[in-house]
Amino acid sequence: MIRHKGTQALETKRLILRRATLDDAEAMFHNWASDPKVTKYLTWPTHANVAITQAVLQDWVTCYARQDYYQWMIILKEFDTCPIGSISVVSLDDSQATAEIGYCIGQPWWHQGIMSEALAAVIDYLFEQVGILHVKAKHDTNNPYSGAVMRKCGMRYQGIQLQAGTNNQGPCDIATYLIANHKNTQKNHDSGRSKTDNSVQLVRAASKDASIIQQIQREAFSELLKKYEDHETNPANESIEHITWKITQPDSYYYYIMLAENIVGCIRIVDAKNDTPKRISPLYILPQYRGKGYAQAAILKAEEMHGADHWTLETILQEKGNCHLYEKLGYQKTGQATKVNEKMTLIRYEK
Residue 69 located in a structural domain: yes
Average pLDDT value for residue range 24-50: 97
**Domain annotation covers residue 245:** yes
**Domain check: are 211 and 339 in the same one?**
yes
Structural domain boundaries enclosing 325:
201-350
Q: Is the pLDDT of residue 187 over 90?
A: no
Domain boundary among 159, 188, 217: 188
Taking alpha carbons only, the member of 331, 323, 328, 337 closest to residue 349 is 331
Q: Report pLDDT digits (tens) over 297-317.
A: 999 999 999 998 899 999 999
CATH number of the domain where residue 165 is located: 3.40.630.30
- Over residues 169-190, the mean pLDDT reads 75
Q: What is the pLDDT of residue 209?
A: 86
> Are residues 129 and 250 both part of a single domain?
no
161 and 56 housed in the same domain: yes
The pLDDT, as a whole number, for residue 190 is: 39
- Residue 162 has what pLDDT? 84
Over residues 46-65, the pLDDT tens digits come to 999 999 999 999 999 999 99
- The reported pLDDT for the residue numbered 191 is 37
Residues 178-197: what's their mean pLDDT?
54
Tell me the CA distances in angstroms from 26 to 118, 153, 194, one per residue in order.
22, 30, 50
Counting residues of the chain whose pLDDT is more than 90, the rounded percentage is 77
103 and 227 together in one domain: no
Tell whether 64 and 175 lie within a shared domain.
yes
| Whether residue 110 has pLDDT greater than 90 | yes
Residue 2 falls inside a structural domain: no
Q: Are strands 201-204 and 262-270 parallel, antiparallel or unpaired?
A: unpaired
- Of 101, 173, 172, 175, give the one whose Cα is nearest residue 134: 101
Please check whether residue 195 lies inside any domain of the structure. Answer: no
Residues 36 and 168 in one domain: yes
225 and 148 within one domain: no
Q: In which band, very low, low, confident or very high, does the pLDDT at 112 lie, cut at 50, 70 and 90?
A: very high
Domain-embedded: residue 3: no
* 159 falls within a domain: yes
Are 18 and 136 part of one and the same domain? Answer: yes
230-243 pLDDT tens trace: 999 999 999 999 99
Rounded-to-integer distance, Cα 29 and Cα 234, Å: 45
Mean pLDDT for all residues in the chain = 91
Same domain, yes or no, for 266 and 333?
yes
Residue 161 lies inside a defined structural domain of this protein = yes
CA 334 to each of CA 271, 297, 312, 350, 351: distance values in angstroms, whole numbers, following the listed order: 20, 24, 10, 7, 10
Looking at the structure, do residues 152 and 65 belong to the same domain, yes or no? yes
Q: Considering its fold, how many domains does the chain have in total?
A: 2
273 and 131 inside one domain? no
Residue 4 lies in a domain: no
Separation of alpha carbons 140 and 165, rounded Å: 8
> Sorting pLDDT into bands at 50, 70 and 90, what band is 116?
very high
Residue 80 has pLDDT above 80, yes or no: no
Whether 52 and 140 share a structural domain: yes
Last residue of a domain, one of 132, 155, 188: 188
Beta pairing, strands 201-204 & 252-259? antiparallel
Which of 188, 215, 238 lies at the terminal end of a domain, its last residue? 188
